[in-house]
């Protein structure tokens, strides 16, 4: 079934984008945001299960991926922790990050909790911070943020007949377009250098 010849590591979102284009003629950003994370997982041959488990160990688990040799990668998403759609998308994007970057490491299971998926708490954990950065980049590609951002701002200015769009409105509309949480979008915008201007007096 899975005949994809995968490189052992896909170390960046750009590399993933080239891989999907070359292997499947799939353009990651073809239809603009939101990026289709389920489709990407499917193309990569990752099996994704959203199901409730009554295993005590899993109560605090938000998501999990197993990367056993010669077996399909399996992702489990805890529905109790991912009922908010943007949360689920981020969880799956984070697991795709582990799949792409960490298959060649010795670690075969990554168990994700609120802590591993938290930017500041995962800061010193290399694999977790890499997966978080990968997820942010995959869901909110810089080029797409800039092009869509321009459209969103122009539309707002015309509709409201104003000179500037308040940052809070911008974050909210962008988060909604990209189907990510407002804090995730806010952080990403700062990260790629898009900051609100202070209104001049
Ligand atoms: Zn993780």
Work out the angle at residue 40's Cα, subtended by the Cα atoms of residues 50 and 140, and round it to the nearest 5 degrees.
Answer: 100
The rounded Å distance from CA 76 to ligand 1 centre is 12
The rounded Å distance from CA 143 to ligand 1 centre is 25
- What pLDDT, in 10s, does the model give residues 113-137? 999 998 888 888 999 999 999 999 9
Contacts of 57 (CB under 8 A, 6+ apart): none
Q: In what order do the strands lie in the sheet with 74-77?
A: 47-50, 74-77, 63-66, 109-112
Strand 74-77 versus strand 47-50 pairing type:
parallel
Reported pTM: 0.91
The rounded Å distance from CA 96 to ligand 1 centre is 9
Per the CB < 8 A criterion, the answer to whether 56 and 110 are in contact is no
Give strand pairing partners of 109.
66
Contacts of 198 (CB under 8 A, 6+ apart): none
The pLDDT averaged over each successive group of 10 residues in the chain (201 residues) is 64 94 91 92 95 76 92 93 95 97 92 90 90 96 94 96 95 97 95 78 51
């Amino acid at each position: 079934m899975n005949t994809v010849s995968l490189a052992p590591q896909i170390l960046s979102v750009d590399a993933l984008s080239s891989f999907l284009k070359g292997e499947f003629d799939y353009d990651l950003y073809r239809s603009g945001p939101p990026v289709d994370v389920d489709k990407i997982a499917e193309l990569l041959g990752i099996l994704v299960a959203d199901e409730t488990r009554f295993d005590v160990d899993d109560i605090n688990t938000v998501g999990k991926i197993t990367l056993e040799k010669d077996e399909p990668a399996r992702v489990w998403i805890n529905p109790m922790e991912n009922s908010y759609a943007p949360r689920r998308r981020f969880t799956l994007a984070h697991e795709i990050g582990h799949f792409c970057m960490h298959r060649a490491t010795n670690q075969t299971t990554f168990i994700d909790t609120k802590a591993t998926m938290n930017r500041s708490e995962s800061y010193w954990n290399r694999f977790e911070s890499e997966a978080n950065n990968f997820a942010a980049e995959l869901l909110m590609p810089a080029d797409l943020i800039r092009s869509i951002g321009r459209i969103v701002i122009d539309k707002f200015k015309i509709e409201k007949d104003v000179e500037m769009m308040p940052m809070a409105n911008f974050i909210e509309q962008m988060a909604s377009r990209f189907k990510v949480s407002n804090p995730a979008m806010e952080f990403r915008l700062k990260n790629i250098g898009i900051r609100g201007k202070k209104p001049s007096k």
